[in-house]
C-alpha cells in the first residue's frame, strides 16, 4: 500500500487558515509525530478512509467511544430514528431514564445518574460534588492523569498536554492549581502522606487504568488501598472511568478490579460516538445536585435524544458476556503478536520496547518498561514512536499520533485485521529499530 495524501495536505492547509492549528483538539494535529494528518472522509466498521481514498485499520476509534466500530448499523438506525423525532427538547424523555437505568445496572452500588455532555464536565461535576459533600477544598490527582481540561485538573495533565510538553497551562490561576495535589500513579504511600499532611482533601480522582500516558494498569491492591486511605481520612474516591467505563467490562474497572468508587465519571462509550457523559453515585451524594440539592450543574444539551439513542444502541450488545471475551481475545492476540514482532526486530532484548495492555486498551511504549507511572512513561523514545507510527500509517494502520495514548480495539476488528496489523508491525519495528541510536 502506498499512502498518498495530496488532497489531505491541501485540505489541512485550508483548515489551518480558519481552525486553530487546523484541529479542534490538540493531539489530532500530528505535532508529536510530524507530517500531515489524513483528512477523514468516512468510517466503516474497523476502518476509516481519508479524502485521498486511503483506507486504514483504525485503532484510534474516536479516542475510545467506538467500541462497536464506525457507523455500526444499530447505532446509525437509532440516531436516524431519534433525529426524525426532534433533536432536543430541554425536557424529560423516557430514553434518558432508560439510559440511566442501564448505567446503574453496570454500577449497582450507585443509585443516581446525571447525564451531561463531555468527560471534562463529568470530572468537573464529580469534583464539585465531592467538595460540597465533604466541605473541603483540595483534590489529589496522579501525575500525567487526564481528567479533562477544567482549570483545577490542568496540573501535570496527560495526553495532549504531555505531548506538547506543557505540564500545566497558561490561563489557569495559580490559586486554582494550588487546590490540586499531584502524586505518582501506583504509589499508595504518596497518597497516604498527602492525606495525612492536608486535612482539607475532599477527594482523590484517579483513572483506575491510566490511559492518557499510554496504557498503565494499576498494581495489585493499589485501587483497594486508595479506597481505604481516602475513607480513613474522610475523603471520597472518584474513579474517572471516562475511558475504562464499558471498555474493560460492562461494569468498567470497578468490576475488573473488584473495587468500588464513591463517585464515577463516565463518557466516551456511553454516548456511542455522540457527545454524552455522566456522573453516577449514591443518592446521598448525588442528590446534592440541583434541583434536588444546592450544588449547581446544568446543560442545554444534557440528555440530548440523539446522544442518548446512540448510547442505548451501543450499550445493548455489550451486556452479553461474549462481547468482552471477544475484545479480550483480540487484545491478547494483538499484544502477543506485537511483542513477537518487536522481539524479532531486536527491540525487546535491547530493552527498547514494552507492550502494556488492559483488555482492549494497549500501548507500545518505546522504553524498557514496565511503565508504572508518568515518570516512567517520560523515558520513552518519542522519535522511535514517530517512526513506528508513520511506518504503520503507510501500511494502512491508523494508530494514535502520540506515544502517550492508548490504542483501542473494537468489536468490528476481525482476526484478519489483527493479522494485517501484525504484518505491518514487523516492518514498522524494523524501521523504528533502524532509527535508534
Ligand atoms: C477523554 C477523557 C476525559 C475527557 O473527556 P472529554 O469528553 O474529552 O472531555 C477525561 N478523563 C479521561 C480518563 C479521558 O480519557
Which residue's alpha carbon is at the smallest distance from atom 15 of ligand 1? Answer: 243
HSE of 359, CA atoms in CB hemisphere, 13 A: 26
pLDDT in tens, 392-433: 999 999 999 999 999 999 999 999 999 999 999 999 999 888
Set 58, 141, 268, 417: catalytic member? 268
Ligand 1: atom nearest CA of 267 is 7
Q: What is the mean pLDDT of residues 309-325?
A: 95
CB of 405 within 6 A of ligand 1: the answer is no
- Given a cut of 90, is residue 192 above it in pLDDT? yes
Decide: 158 in ligand 1 pocket, CB within 6 A. Answer: no
Mean pLDDT of all residues in 370-396: 96
Domains contained in the chain, CATH given:
6-63+321-433 (3.90.1150.10), 73-318 (3.40.640.10)
The question of whether 199 is a catalytic residue gets the answer no
Backbone conformation region of residue 346, classed left if phi is above 0, alpha if psi is from -120 to 50, else beta: left
Q: How far apart are CA 161 and CA 155, in angstroms?
A: 10
Residue among 240, 262, 381, 417 flagged as catalytic: 240
- Mean pLDDT in residue range 259-264: 98
The reply to whether ligand 1 has any atom less than 6 angstroms from the CB of 309 is no
The grid coordinates of residue 140 equal 489529589
Catalytic annotation present for 268: yes
Tell me the average pLDDT across 21-38. 95
pLDDT at 350: 82
d(CA 99, CA 315): 9
Rounded average pLDDT over 378-397: 96
Please state, in angstroms and rounded to a whole number, the distance separating the CA atoms of residues 304 and 338. 40
Q: How many CB atoms sit inside 10 A of residue 151's CB?
A: 17
Q: Bigger pLDDT: 234 or 2?
A: 234
Atom number of ligand 1 nearest to Cα 63: 1
Predicted confidence at residue 1, as pLDDT, reads 64
The angle that helices 321-344 and 415-435 make with each other, rounded to 10 degrees, is 30
Q: Is the pLDDT of residue 106 over 80?
A: yes
- Eight-class DSSP state of 295: B
59 given a catalytic annotation: no
Query: Where do the DSSP E strands lie in 51-163?
Result: 55-58, 112-116, 138-142
Quick check: 398 and 35 in contact, CB under 8 A? no
- In the numeric block, which cell numbers belong to residue 284? 446521598
pTM of the model: 0.96
Ligand 1 centroid–CA 436 distance in Å is 33
Per-residue pLDDT band for 436 (boundaries 50, 70, 90) equals confident
Q: pLDDT band at 149, cuts 50/70/90?
A: very high
DSSP letters, 231-275, are HHTT-EEEEE-TTTBTTTBTTHHHHHTT---SEEEE-GGGGTTSS
What number does the ligand 1 atom closest to the CA of 275 have?
Answer: 7
What is the mean pLDDT of the segment spanning 122-136?
A: 98
- CB of 263 closer than 8 Å to CB of 285: yes
The closest-lying atom of ligand 1 relative to the alpha carbon of residue 118 is 7
Closest CA to 434 of 390, 387, 397: 387
Those residues with Cβ within 8 angstroms of residue 69's Cβ, 6 or more apart along the chain or in another chain: 43, 44, 45, 46, 61, 410, 411, 412, 413
pLDDT at 166: 37
DSSP element (H, E) containing 408: strand 407-408
Q: How far is the CA of 340 from the centre of ligand 1 (A)?
A: 32
Ligand 1 pocket test: pick from 60, 62, 123, 208 the residue with the most ligand atoms within 8 Å of its Cβ. 123
Report pLDDT for 173: 87
Instruction: Give 306 Cα–ligand 1 centroid separation in angstroms.
Output: 20
Task: Report CA(262)–ligand 1 centroid distance (Å).
Answer: 19
Cell numbers found for residue 297? 450543574
Catalytic residue chosen out of the listed positions 56, 63, 107, 146: 146
Q: Is the pLDDT of residue 97 over 60?
A: yes
Is residue 157's pLDDT more than 60? no
**Higher model confidence: residue 191 or residue 158?**
191
pLDDT at 434: 83
Of 285, 282, 281, the closest CA to residue 293 belongs to: 285
Q: How far is CA 191 from CA 154, 155, 158, 196, in A?
A: 19, 17, 19, 9
Q: What is the mean pLDDT of residues 201-217?
A: 98
Average pLDDT, the chain: 94
Helix extents (H) in 20-72: none
Report the pLDDT value the prediction gives residue 437, as an integer from 0 to 100: 59
Q: Does 193 have pLDDT greater than 90?
A: yes
Amino acid at each position: 500500500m502506498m499512502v498518498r495524501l495530496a488532497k489531505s495536505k491541501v485540505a489541512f492547509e485550508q483548515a489551518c487558515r480558519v481552525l486553530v492549528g487546523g484541529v479542534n483538539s490538540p493531539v489530532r494535529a500530528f505535532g508529536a509525530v510530524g507530517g500531515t494528518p489524513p483528512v477523514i472522509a468516512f468510517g466503516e466498521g474497523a476502518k476509516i478512509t481519508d479524502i485521498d481514498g486511503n483506507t486504514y485499520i483504525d485503532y484510534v476509534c474516536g479516542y475510545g467511544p467506538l467500541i462497536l466500530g464506525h457507523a455500526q448499523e444499530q447505532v446509525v438506525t437509532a440516531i436516524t430514528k431519534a433525529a426524525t423525532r426532534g433533536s432536543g427538547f430541554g425536557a424529560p424523555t423516557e430514553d434518558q431514564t432508560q439510559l440511566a437505568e442501564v448505567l446503574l445496572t453496570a454500577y449497582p452500588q450507585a443509585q443516581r445518574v446525571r447525564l451531561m455532555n463531555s468527560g471534562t464536565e463529568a470530572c468537573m461535576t464529580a469534583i464539585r460534588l465531592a467538595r460540597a459533600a465533604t466541605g473541603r477544598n483540595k483534590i489529589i490527582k496522579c501525575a500525567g492523569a487526564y481528567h479533562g481540561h477544567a482549570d483545577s485538573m490542568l496540573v501535570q495533565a496527560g495526553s495532549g498536554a504531555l505531548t506538547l510538553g506543557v505540564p500545566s497551562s497558561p490561563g489557569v490561576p495559580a490559586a486554582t492549581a494550588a487546590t490540586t495535589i499531584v502524586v505518582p500513579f501506583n504509589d499508595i504511600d504518596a497518597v497516604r502522606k498527602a492525606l495525612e499532611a492536608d486535612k482539607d482533601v475532599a477527594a482523590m480522582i484517579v483513572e483506575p487504568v491510566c490511559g492518557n500516558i499510554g496504557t498503565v494498569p494499576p498494581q495489585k491492591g493499589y485501587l483497594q488501598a486508595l479506597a481505604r486511605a481516602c475513607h480513613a481520612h474522610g475523603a471520597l474516591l472518584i474513579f474517572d472511568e471516562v475511558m475504562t467505563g464499558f471498555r474493560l467490562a460492562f461494569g468498567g474497572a470497578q468490576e475488573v478490579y473488584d473495587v468500588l468508587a464513591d463517585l464515577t465519571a463516565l463518557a466516551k462509550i456511553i454516548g456511542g460516538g455522540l457527545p454524552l457523559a455522566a456522573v453516577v453515585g449514591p443518592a446521598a451524594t448525588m442528590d446534592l445536585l440541583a434541583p434536588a440539592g444546592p450544588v449547581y450543574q446544568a446543560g442545554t444539551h444534557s440528555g440530548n435524544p440523539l446522544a442518548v439513542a446512540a448510547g442505548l444502541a451501543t450499550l445493548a450488545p455489550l451486556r452479553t458476556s461474549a462481547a468482552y471475551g471477544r475484545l479480550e481475545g483480540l487484545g491478547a492476540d494483538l499484544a502477543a503478536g506485537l511483542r513477537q514482532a518487536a522481539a524479532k526486530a531486536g527491540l525487546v532484548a535491547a530493552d527498547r520496547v514494552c507492550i502494556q495492555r488492559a483488555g482492549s486498551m494497549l500501548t507500545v511504549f518505546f522504553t524498557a518498561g514496565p511503565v508504572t507511572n508518568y515518570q516512567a512513561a517520560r523515558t520513552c523514545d518519542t522519535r522511535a514512536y514517530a517512526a513506528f507510527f508513520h511506518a504503520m500509517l503507510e501500511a494502512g494502520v491508523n494508530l494514535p499520533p502520540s506515544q502517550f495514548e492508548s490504542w483501542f480495539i473494537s468489536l468490528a476488528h476481525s482476526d484478519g485485521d489483527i493479522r494485517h496489523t501484525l504484518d505491518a508491525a514487523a516492518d514498522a519495528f524494523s524501521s523504528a529499530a533502524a532509527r535508534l541510536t
